[in-house]
Amino acid sequence: MIGVNRLISNSELQNLDLIDLLSERHSLVRKISEKAWNNQSEIYISNSEWYIMARIYKKQPSISYVTKNVEISRQAIHKFIKNLSDKGLVEVKNVENNKKEKCIRLTALGEECYEKNGALKAQLEEKIAEKIGAEQVHILKDLLKLDWDI
């Protein structure tokens, strides 16, 4: 499928529970998405870096806010932010009236990369819709957006 080997065969998928099915599909689409970006860009961006970029897109959160709202260790987040900064994708600044706190925002290059990647993900979504049907994709998205109260 789309140039990346499946992580698990379709016959093996039949025996998985919901949690493992979600995990397998998530891993597959993330791998495809990462490969699509890295095939067309000279700037390598890992899935964890995309995850952080998604949390700060069009915002200027504090780094402590990011560490509390991203499911990655605090130490790893600081490493990823440094990597993103070194690539020119984010800018870290002091928070006004607070000497300890720093905020983070995407640079113009970071926003451009994020938006280009959004277009690549939209293409992947279209390919999935071609395989399973646009209505099925719509239903799946609606189900995933519901409050599962868990």
Distances (CA, A) of 115 to 62, 72, 149: 22, 23, 32
Three-class SS of residue 121? helix
Domain ranges of the chain: 16-145
Give the pLDDT confidence score for residue 3 in this predicted structure: 44
> Under a CB-based contact definition with an 8 Å cutoff, are residues 118 and 58 in contact?
no
Please give the pLDDT value at position 13.
84
Q: What are phi and psi of 51, to 5 degrees?
A: -60, -45
- Beta strand residue intervals within 1-138, DSSP E: 90-95, 98-106
Angstrom distances, CA of residue 116 to CA of 33, 85, 110 = 12, 19, 10
CB atoms within 10 A of CB 78: 14
Assign domain 16-145 to a CATH class: mainly alpha
In order along its 150 residues, the chain shows pLDDT tens digits of 444 455 677 778 888 899 999 999 999 999 999 999 999 999 999 989 999 999 999 999 999 999 999 889 999 999 999 999 999 999 999 888 887 889 999 999 999 999 999 999 999 999 999 999 999 999 999 999 999 999
DSSP letter assigned to residue 39 = H
Burial class of residue 113, CB neighbours in 10 A (0-12, 13-18, 19+): buried
Cβ atoms of residues 31 and 7 within 8 Å: yes
Q: How far apart are CA 45 and CA 36, in angstroms?
A: 11
In the prediction, which pLDDT does 132 show?
95
